[in-house]
Structure 1
Amino acid sequence: MNRTRVVVIGAGIIGAACARELAVAGFDVLVLDRAGAAAATTSHGEGNILVSDKGPGPELELAQLSRQLWPEVLAAVRENSDDPAGGAEVVAGVEWDPKGGIVVATTAEGAEGLRRFADTQRAAGVRAEAMDSDALTAAEPFLTERRTAAVYYPDDAQVQPAGAATALLADALRAGARLRTGREVRGAVVRGGRLTALRTADGPVAADVFVNAAGPWSGEVARRLGVPLDIRPRRGEVLVTTPLPPTVFHKVYDADYVGAVGSGAGDLQTSAVVESTRAGSVLLGSSRRRVGFDDRLRPEVLSAIAAKALRLFPSLAGVHVMRAYGGFRPYVPDHLPVIGADPRLPGLWHATGHEGAGIGLSVGTARLVREMLMGSQTSIDASPFRVDRPAALGTDTDAPDVSEEES
């Protein structure tokens, strides 16, 4: 019996998760990436798996599904390994840490907004626990005393993003998937109105189904395939301190973070996001700005990030920053991912547009892709992520490199 051939475009966390889900389900999977596995957006993130920053709606439902799946997927990765010790080593590299998150307000207005937001989340099934001052001090002894409210989210977690993508991809390869790097999509081969192959410098790559999981470059990939998609890069930066004694015990961010995530503004936005890693370094974020693919680090952006982090953790003053990095996130104007079949070009599917939440949402996205490809009932309603909604459709009219071939 011939297996359905699937080409996944992109070997970041979304592509790796989709490849794994499909390969384990029995599809014949090939992953293509123009560079290397987890080499771009995935390796330039913090590894957040959050429910705390999402209000009621489809993205929160996807986050809740993903949060449920992450421990199950990691357990399966370990069990699937022919070498249990090797599987354990791969999972250890993921650095799964369900440490919980704390959102802190430092003004009366921020406290009121945080309480209202948490109330709406509880109604949607999110565990959100109000913390009094004593509980907050016990949880984060180095946190500023200038706080007006705090909410604890026990289901927030963190992974090492490149390690997580590597683990998912390794499990996909174990299940029979193949990986080809250095393969850039140049255009499409269309036969009878259906996408049948990708044009690359090394020749056409044929399949039955193609999944566009190219992150911030998904819009350009879609354009080259002849179907505009409004995916834009949105840049963020992170500061990394030298290793410290235990200082930050949860993911801690100020109440402004939720507003920054949900904003569509193109100019610089920053909010304090502070968390430690297992190596002892502290990650300081976050920023959001739309600057195209300009990858230059801006001192004023890094300075703004540091200043807001110090408002939450004054004890970090004088701590050395050993490096800074930035990356691009796939932004959609309505802040929802694009997941599913493209009705304009049969054979093409998309799994993109997660912006800064791709690590957390990856396994849930992959589950939806597999369920829809197999014609199964989806774990959650996937219609809000449909490709043909107005916010996801682009307006680029440049002629793409598409060849129509007769069957």
Structure 2
Amino acid sequence: MASMSTYRPAARPHLKPSSFIVSPRPPPCTLALRSRLFGSRIPVDLCATRTRLNGPSGAGQPLGRVRVGSRPVVASQHSFDVVIVGAGIIGLTIARQLLLESDLSVAVVDKAVPCSGATGAGQGYIWMAHKTPGSDMWELALRSHQLWESLAENIHDQGLNPQEVLGWKKTGSLLVGKTVEESALLKRRVKQLSEAGVEAEFLSSHELLLEEPALSVDKESGAALLPNDCQLDAHRTVAFVEEGNRQFVSQGRYAEFYHDPVISLLRSGKNGEVEAVLTSKSTLYCKKAVVIAAGCWTGSLMRDLDIGVDVLVKPRKGHLLVLENFDLIRLNHGLMEAGYVSHQQIMQHSSVSAAGLSNDEEMLSISMTATTDTMGNLVLGSSRQFVGFCTEANASIIDSIWKRAQEFFPKLREMNLAEIGENRKVRIGLRPYMPDGKPVIGSVPGLSNVFLASGHEGSGLSLALGTAEMVADMVMGNQGKVDFAPFAVDGRCCR
């Protein structure tokens, strides 16, 4: 079998925070140190005792030495209204929303760089095809879709090309059924979507073949077509959001702290509220809020705070197979098998037991998805499994994705995957999974100034703008455009 290469995004240029941040001196306080290195695979014991820090000694100057185990941490001090932990698409778009809709200052901190996690490894869906009208997720998904549409239109109105800027493609999506039962399910879904105001159409087997000649279609086949569904290129989109955020640097309202793992949230000895985020290089004081948007690491990070709230976010590994410069088949839409929808429902229903699994215990499933990205590459997926934080490529899973794709595309049966050679890549991402299938978005019980925004699993890019709007409204005390209640932290976490 040909060797596989795991997708690794190129290092992204970033600005050094200390070169453009001038922060006011925060008031002296007594802080409690808890937690461990954010994102570390190996637990690091950070001394259980409370540690008093030296008082602030001026913006950008050494704050003092905090002893963590046997290693001293030298931190520099900065102050912001809001500190966001996590520079994935959720964290960056929350920063964007706060910068555009308020006069608050914002810092984003991450152990790596944007697009080095689940966002950069995904297919870039902005799809409503697999969302169910009336569900808890529906309004958030619909709002996010509208916001992405508006953003693309605004970019176009400025004389720019949304495809060049965002990788934006309004390809439409197809949910494909191969059996009588699946076709009947898709007819009901089209009716449901249409009644909810989303343009949708059922395609017979003949109509489906006209739309997608590369598909294997027989008389029982059918599909749900959503012509307004879109795709993005995650890397271009993140670069656009970053560039927009950096426009606020000159106003002293924005800073990035990349390659800077979070060690702890620091709590006041007076009222227990979080007053700062301690990283490996800095102490970032927060005057208004901390937002934890740390993806699949959110659960382990919050558990280490020892505040009696166990956030059930855990990593769910996914593989995608990317065939570069592949012209054997051409797709006119983004495709997903009908079983992808029922797969999601079944996995969510069984997630009560899944939540109690150890990270080494697998629940593997594979569904056919197929898209052509902005570069013309064929992207095939996808797998789901619980294997902890492992990001190693699994050859048997890649073979299974290929075989599943062959069932839908006859042309693929004419070749062996090994023949593709160096033009074959594998993307691996760890989706932030919540057992009930909904992201957790809201304030943490007992810590009114700490907000969570995680658990979007494979829909982070799709739901990003709606989530960002929701979190910004929460931080600023505004009434939301979407009901906050279904995503609340309280009642969905263990105490």
Moved more, 60-69 or 316-325: 316-325
Could you tell me which of 280, 283, 286 is aligned with 1:204?
Answer: 283
Relative to 1, partners in 2 of residues 1:181 and 1:89: Cα closer, same or farther, differing over 3 Å? farther
Give yes or no for contact 1:78–1:91 (8 Å, CA) kept in 2.
no
Residue 222 of structure 2 is aligned with which of 146, 149, 169?
149
Residue in structure 1 matched with residue 180 of structure 2 by the alignment: 108
Identify the residue that residue 224 of structure 1 maps to in structure 2. Answer: 304
Whether the 8 Å contact between 1:185 and 1:221 is mirrored in structure 2 is: no
Alignment partners' CA distance in 2, 1:133 and 1:113: 15
Aligned to 1:190: 267
Matched ranges for 1:64-143 at <5 A: 64-76=142-154, 88=160, 92-143=164-215
Match of 2:401 in 1: 305
Residues 389, 156 of structure 1: CA spacing in aligned structure 2 closer, same or farther, 3 A cutoff? farther
Distance 1:76 1:128, change over 3 A: closer
> Could you tell me how far apart the structure 2 residues matched to 1:371 and 1:4 are?
18
Q: How many residues align?
A: 386
Residues 33-42 or 69-78, more deviating: 69-78
More helix by share: 1
- Shift of the alpha carbon at 1:291? 0.9
* Alignment-mate amino acid for residue 71 of structure 1: E
User: Paired residue for 1:48, among 109, 125, 132?
Assistant: 125
Residue in 2 that maps onto 1:9? 85
Partner of 2:447, secondary structure, is coil
User: Which of 353, 371, 394 does residue 275 from structure 1 map onto?
Assistant: 371
List aligned pairs for 1:298-337, cutoff 5 A: 298-317=394-413, 318=415, 320=420, 322-337=424-439
Give 1:351 shift. 0.9
CA spacing shift, 1:242–1:4, aligned 2, 3 Å: closer
After the TM superposition, which segments of 4 or more aligned residues of structure 1 sit over 6 Å from their partners?
Answer: none
CA drift of 1:89 comes to 7.7
Q: Which amino acid aligns with 1:180?
A: F
Aligned amino acid, residue 304 of structure 2: R
Q: How far off its partner does 1:190 sit?
A: 1.1
Tell me, in whole angstroms, the C-alpha distance in 2 between the residues paired with 1:28 and 1:144.
54
Flag the 1:75–1:223 CA change in 2: closer, same or farther, 3 A.
farther
Segments of 5+ residues of structure 2 without an aligned counterpart are: 1-23, 25-78, 351-361
In structure 2, distance between residues paired with 1:143 and 1:180: 46
% identity of equivalent residues:
31
| Conserved? CA contact 1:137–1:143, under 8 Å | yes
Q: Closer, same or farther in 2 for the Cα pair 1:55/1:90, shift >3 Å?
A: closer
| One-letter amino acid matched to 2:468 | A
> CA 1:303–1:6 in 2, change beyond 3 Å: closer, same or farther?
same
* Structure 1 position 286 matched with structure 2 position 355: no
SS of structure 1 residue aligned to 2:137: helix
Structure 1 residues 122-171: Cα deviation after superposition (integer angstroms, max 9, x where no partner):
33333221112332222111111235221101222110112212211221
Query: Equivalent residue for 2:459?
Result: 357
Q: Which moved more, 1:152-161 or 1:255-264?
A: 255-264
Q: Kindly state the Cα deviation for residue 333 of structure 1 after the two structures are TM-superposed.
A: 0.4
Q: Which residue of 2 aligns with 1:398?
A: none
User: Which protein shows a greater Rg?
Assistant: 2
Cα distance in 1, alignment partners of residues 494 and 431 from structure 2: 17
Rounded Cα–Cα distance in structure 2 between residues aligned with 1:101 and 1:342: 37
Q: Alpha carbons of 1:109 and 1:71: their partners in 2 closer, same or farther (altered >3 Å)?
A: closer
TM-score by length of 1: 0.89
Over 3 Å counting, the alpha-carbon distance change for 1:76 and 1:126 in structure 2 is closer
RMSD across aligned positions (CA): 2.2
Partner SS, residue 176 of structure 2? strand
Number of the residue aligned with 2:58? none
Q: Aligned residue for 1:39? A: 116
Residue of structure 2 aligned with 1:373, choices 475, 481, 488: 475
Q: CA deviation at 1:50?
A: 1.2
Q: For 1:87-127, what per-residue CA distance to the aligned partner results, in whole angstroms no more than 9, with x for missing partners?
A: x4897242101111011110122222222333333333332
* Residues 373 and 77 of structure 1, relative CA distance in 2, 3 Å threshold: farther
**Cα distance in 2 for residues equivalent to 1:389 and 1:53:** 26
Cα distance in 2 between the residues matched to 1:93 and 1:313: 31
- 1:38 and 1:166 in contact (8 A); partners too: no
CA distance in structure 2 between the partners assigned to 1:49 and 1:11 by the alignment? 20
**Structure 1: gaps (5+ residues):** 396-407
1:166 aligns with 2:166: no
Distance 1:212 1:77, change over 3 A: farther
**Contact conserved, 1:77 with 1:167, CA < 8 A, in 2?**
no
Q: Give 1:12's aligned amino acid.
A: G
- Relative to structure 1, the CA distance from residue 71 to residue 90 in structure 2 (aligned partners, 3 Å threshold; closer, same or farther) is closer
TM-superposed deviation, 1:78: 7.6
Distance in 2 separating the partners of 1:125 and 1:337:
24
The answer to whether the 8 Å contact 2:317/2:429 transfers is yes
Further displaced range: 70-79 or 155-164: 70-79
